[in-house]
Amino acid sequence: MDKDTLTRLVIAKLRDQEMSIREQWANPVGTRTRHFIVDNLLPEDVAAQIYDAFPKDADGFYNRESFREKKRTSANLDQYAPILADITYAFQDPQTVAVVSDIVGFTQIEPDPSLYAGGLSMMFRGDFLNPHIDNSHDGKRDRYRRLNLLYYVSPDWKLENGGNFELWDDDCKVQKTLVCKFNRLVVMETNKLSWHSVSPVQIDAPRCCVSNYFFSKVSPDESEYFHVTSFTGRPDEVGKRAIGVVDNALRNTVSKVLKYGRGKDQANTKG
């Protein structure tokens, strides 16, 4: 199974589900953030091969751990079985970008072969990702982040496993939970108010995700702005919410002065 074959399979599924995708996108339920879900994205045996290719101990992954998050990521795809690079770059293929852009009605959308903040993600028991809005730009700061594509491949993943994707309202007080089901693709828009998170993992099994991001020189609201990945706490985490306000402001200031992007050192320079 090579990259071109995976690209054709992804595009075929998107086109097959186009009416459903358009309806989901135009009428988001439980959140203002536009998004859509495609289940059974690939043939089941192919999705299983992708999961099996993940190193189950996250060997070689970068460990992110702070009050904001706890997860492992890697954009160095040449370290692993070829199918992991193939599925990642199937999403980055210009044909896939064009189809997704057409269906959601976005223009001037571009892929990001450098995988800035993208690539492979693994989470284990106790790992989490607090409510946040993503960094507004790519690593070079000349394009706005517009779409997140998250493909989940852990078998038999259930709500009670935790580690599920969450979309929040503007105040991060009410969330919509999307279970990270096996072979499920979630696509969401990214803007100033697209708060999202991952609930703490509750089981002794890896939660595996292939993450991709699309960018554009066109701002989501046609205004010029910049912000780093900005975190807050959950509704009952008053302390984290207070710390987040200070932490976000400090990192924003440092990033603007030094022109340093969070995660830029983890991008795939071979992309």
Label residue 117 by pLDDT band (50, 70, 90).
Answer: confident
Q: What is the pLDDT of residues 148-207, one digit of tens each?
A: 999 999 999 999 999 999 999 999 999 999 999 999 999 999 999 999 999 999 999 999
Tell me what pLDDT residue 70 has. 96
pTM of the full predicted structure? Answer: 0.94
Tell me what pLDDT residue 248 has. 81
Class of domain 3-225: mainly beta
Q: Secondary structure of 70-138 in the HEC alphabet? A: EEEEECCHHHCCHHHHHHHHHHHCHHHHHHHHHHHCCCCCECCCCCCCCEEEEECCCCEEEEEECCCEC
Label residue 259 by pLDDT band (50, 70, 90).
Answer: low
Tell me what pLDDT residue 269 has. 41
CA–CA dist 218, 224 (Å, integer): 9
Q: Contacts by 7-10 with C-beta closer than 8 Å and gap 24+?
A: 7/90, 7/93, 7/95, 7/96, 9/41, 9/42, 9/43, 9/46, 9/90, 10/41, 10/42, 10/90, 10/91, 10/96
Q: Which residue has the tokens 């693709």?
A: 185
What are the residue boundaries of the structural domains of the chain, listed by start? 3-225
